[in-house]
Amino acid sequence: MKLAPLLAVLGHSCDQDVDISSLSCDSRTVTPGALFVAIPGEHADGTQYIPQAVDRGAAAVVSPVSLPCPAPLFVVEDPRDALAHLAAAFYGHPAKSLTLIGITGTKGKTTTAHMVRDILLAAGHTAGMIGTMGAYIGRETWADCPNTTPDPLLLHRLLHDMVEQGCTHVVMEVSSQAMKHRRVAGLTFAAGVFLNLSPDHIGPGEHADYAEYAACKAAFFAQCAGAVGNGEDMAWPQMAAQLPPEAPVATFGFSLTCGVQGGTVAPIESPSALGSRFTVADCDTPYTIPLPGRHHVQDALAAVAVCRQLGLPEEAIRQGLEEAAVPGRAQVFPNDRGIRVVVDYAHNAASFRAILSCLHCYPHGNIIVVFGAGGNRPPMRRLDMAQVAAELADCAIVTTDNPRWEPVEDICRSITQALGRQIPWEVIYDRREAIFRALDLAQPGDMVALLGKGHEGYIETCGLRLPFSEWAVLEEYFHKNP
């Protein structure tokens, strides 16, 4: 692609006939002919790496400041915003050929995205999905994503791929960090979904405070042509205030004032799943999802609301919800020992409370919870999780989660201090051994909840992602102990 049309999206003109072969914001990945965008980062300033980028063959540079440079250099006010617009142009503006549905909230984004994706598939559309678990075309994995919402270079490449593969719709999780760092700048979403907001992702490397966190969530809705929101969440008015005046708006929840109003919720179960059957005020026939608890029903109400707003048929909504199992979200591991083993991604106090509360709705003996906490994250998160575990579980095995650069011993010590003497607990740093211990303790009728890892296939420590699958550990245990 020529440099001139790329720069035109930034309001710059260029009379040089320069071919641009790629875009990069990391000097280590620059190849000859690249356009290098120098982005000020949390730990390093990209302008410091302009010489390296040019040495590696960068044909031009975009920078927030004017600097001596042997390659053509163009100054922009916000290089993150510029990168998003450049990536869109470089890949041919693929989003213009897609119906984008964006989902945001503190918890429930991945589950709701799966539900909406499965409803679209049931309606006969070819749908893509981008989020915490990676990028999918239909139900097939297409690419891994290092972030819930990828950086613009990966995001627009994925959207381009999805157009090439015949997708008409893309469901995307949009995180607060994505908004803060302008990853989706320039995109217009046909519909935005607001699930909930609670204090999280606040601290070094994330958000300065709750006000910034909420403002980043709200900013997303300025890019939405329509929206549905949780009518019971106090933050919804702040979100809705950002919508364009003409945008259609609907609400969901269990309150009488909600447009899509949930009614009764009944637990259902099978050997391979814990599920829910729930009613909606304007429908005679209940809906069914293969996920337990009121919090998952709330996600389903969001999916119903947004899919109705998009004009999808009722039969597709019902079919999609019935098929919407989500890996690592209240996922039951079948076994012949009479132990109900549940794998869930819960990694904060709100999600701990949601999953453990719903387990109480099913017949059970003791509830044994296996969990740790992510390192280099706000310490209050692990203390709050411990308090919820002490309230809703009968026994805890405290272990490794993703310690990152923090000693796992320090993390576990914080958790056990918060647990105190409220319930019996043990510390086993090796997560495999911790799971084995919990299963050894469990008797028929007991529940074992493995919380924190969910779908993840690794443990992140000291800059490495070491392969680890809870599902594989469970298969190993029950093979040895049928």
CB 393 within 8 A of CB 356: yes
pLDDT tier at 8, thresholds 50, 70, 90 = very high
The Cα-based distances of 36 to 8, 18, 40, 85, 205 in angstroms read 16, 14, 13, 14, 24
The Cα-based distances of 58 to 86, 191, 331 in angstroms read 15, 38, 47
Give the amino acid at 368.
Answer: I
Residue 155 has pLDDT above 80, yes or no: yes
Q: Tell me, what's the pLDDT at 362? A: 92
Q: In whole angstroms, how large is the CA radius of gyration of the chain?
A: 24
pLDDT digits (tens, 9 = 90+) for 423-455: 999 999 999 999 999 999 999 999 999 999 999
pLDDT tier at 14, thresholds 50, 70, 90 = confident
- Region 127-142: mean pLDDT is 96
pLDDT tier at 220, thresholds 50, 70, 90 = very high
Residue 246 has pLDDT above 90, yes or no: yes
- Region 88-116: mean pLDDT is 96
- Region 470-476: mean pLDDT is 97
- Region 389-394: mean pLDDT is 98
Give the range among 72-76, 137-141, 270-274, 370-374 with minimum mean pLDDT: 270-274
- Region 196-223: mean pLDDT is 83
- Region 242-268: mean pLDDT is 96
Q: Pull the structure tokens for residue 214.
A: 């909420």
Percent of the chain exceeding pLDDT 90 equals 87
Q: Tell me, what's the pLDDT at 16? A: 77
Percent of the chain exceeding pLDDT 70 equals 98
Residue 149 has pLDDT above 70, yes or no: yes
Q: Tell me, what's the pLDDT at 345? A: 93
Residue 221 has pLDDT above 70, yes or no: yes
Residue 124 has pLDDT above 70, yes or no: yes
Phi, then psi, of 390 in degrees rounded to 5: -65, -35
- Region 159-166: mean pLDDT is 98
What does pTM read for this prediction? 0.89
Burial 254-281 (b: 16+ CB within 10 A, else e): beeebbbbbeebebeeeeebbbbebbbe
Q: What's the mean per-residue pLDDT of the chain?
A: 94
pLDDT digits (tens, 9 = 90+) for 51-92: 999 999 999 999 999 998 999 999 999 999 999 999 999 999
CB 450 within 8 A of CB 442: no
Q: Rounded CA gap, 416 and 69, in Å?
A: 55
Residue 350 has pLDDT above 90, yes or no: no
pLDDT tier at 15, thresholds 50, 70, 90 = confident
Q: Tell me, what's the pLDDT at 17? A: 80
Residue 125 has pLDDT above 80, yes or no: yes
CB atoms inside a 10 Å sphere around CB 78: 13
Q: Pull the structure tokens for residue 140.
A: 């097939």
Q: Tell me, what's the pLDDT at 462? A: 95
Q: Rounded CA gap, 165 and 148, in Å?
A: 22
CB 63 within 8 A of CB 74: yes
- Region 191-208: mean pLDDT is 80
Q: Pull the structure tokens for residue 250.
A: 């609907």
Domains in the chain, CATH or no CATH each: 3-90 (3.40.1390.10), 94-322 (3.40.1190.10), 331-480 (3.90.190.20)
Residue 205 has pLDDT above 80, yes or no: no
Q: Rounded CA gap, 273 and 53, in Å?
A: 52
SS (H, E, C) the chain: CEHHHHHHCCCCCCCCCCECCEEECCHHHCCCCEEEECCECCCCEHHHHHHHHHHCCCCEEEECCCCCCCCCEEECCCHHHHHHHHHHHHCCCHHHHCEEEEEECCCCHHHHHHHHHHHHHHCCCCEEEEECCEEEECCEEEECCCCCCCCHHHHHHHHHHHHHCCCCEEEEECCHHHHHCCCCCCCCECEEEECCCCCCCECCCCECCHHHHHHHHHHHHHHECCEEEECCCCCHHHHHCCCCCCCCEEEEECCCCCCEEEEEEEEEEECCEEEEEEEECCCCCCEEECCCCHHHHHHHHHHHHHHHHCCCCHHHHHHHHHCCCCCCCCEEECCCCCCEEEEECCCCHHHHHHHHHHHCCCCCCCEEEEECCCCCCCHHHHHHHHHHHHHHCCEEEECCCCCECCCHHHHHHHHHHHHCCCCCEEECCCHHHHHHHHHHHCCCCCEEEEECCCCCCEEEECCEEEECCHHHHHHHHHHHCC
**425 alpha-carbon distance from chain centroid:** 30
pLDDT digits (tens, 9 = 90+) for 35-50: 999 998 777 899 999 9
- Region 349-356: mean pLDDT is 92
